Amino acid sequence: MTDTPTLSIVVPCYNEEGNLIPLVTAIRETMEPLKLTYEIIIADDCSKDKSWEILEKLGAEDPRIRALRFVKNAGQSAAMWAGMNAARGQYIATLDADLQNDPKDLPKFLEALKQADCVCGSRVEQRRKGDNVVRQLSSKIANGVRNKITRENVTDSACCYRVFKRECVGNLKFFKGMHRFLPTLFKIEGYTVAEIPISHHERFAGQSNYGVWNRLFASSYDLFAVRWMQKRMFRFQVKDRVNF
Ligand code: UDP
Ligand code: MG
């Protein structure tokens, strides 16, 4: 066991054998000069490649690297949730394993966190650098529909590069696909959310787990559940108490 870290960096991982060592190296390079205690929690969503062997090795060399592995593939949201649940830091960062999100942006997030409970990355300005036109378009449409239904103006809801205070996840309702709605779910709980532009790169190694179809439609079902939650969640404050 290491000392309680200030920042827990949570990474979902499915078949990312070619990315894990470069990712951990990049995180270390960014974090070392910050003089901030941190841990990296990698949730292996039952990868079929050598990801787990690599994680065991990384964990044996560095106690700040913690890893868990699912029995069966349970999806990105579940992996993120398991990682967040294990986090011990005052702050939690979530980012993808494939280096599309750049660990170099972490200090920017931490700075912005002084003004909000959660800071979300937005790839909008840099999108064309990391994704082809079809991916950009399907993501734009899905994002637009999500904003319309949930009355939000999140510029990039599917971007999972975020940093937030650990208390934000305390009461979170979790479900498959929740990673696309995290800013809205935090707002339902009364937390403040800010956005910052981030870098966006091509996948370093391996393949994307999503096609146009699931990028466009996978979340439409969840969308109405989130809208329902926004409208139906209790919102009350106790004014006075007697004999409590
Ligand atoms: N991922 C996961 N379980 C899955 C699918 C994806 O843990 O069933 C992880 C994946 O390893 C990556 C992140 O979720 O760290 C985002 O996946 P991907 O890069 O395939 O999505 P894209 O960037 O293409 O939208
Ligand atoms: Mg990716």
Whether residue 125 is predicted with pLDDT greater than 80 in this model: the reply is no
Q: Are strands 118-122 and 193-197 parallel, antiparallel or unpaired?
A: parallel
pLDDT tens per residue, range 67-84: 999 999 999 999 999 999
Average pLDDT (48-70) is: 98
Does domain 7-232 bear CATH number 3.90.550.10?
A: yes
Which residue minimizes the CA distance to atom 22 of ligand 1?
A: 208
Task: Quote the pTM value.
Answer: 0.93
Ranges of H-type helices in the chain: 20-31, 51-61, 76-86, 106-112, 127-130, 133-150, 182-188, 212-217, 220-232
Task: Determine if ligand 1 sits within 6 Å of the CB of residue 17.
Answer: no
Which residue minimizes the CA distance to atom 12 of ligand 1?
A: 96
Distance CA 224, CA 210 (A): 21
Residue found by looking up tokens 């190296």 in the block: 25
Task: Determine if ligand 1 sits within 6 Å of the CB of residue 130.
Answer: no
Distance CA 172, CA 162 (A): 15
- Domain boundaries, given as residue ranges, for the chain: 7-232
Atom of ligand 1 nearest to the CA of 95: 15
Looking at every residue in the chain, the average pLDDT score rounds to 92
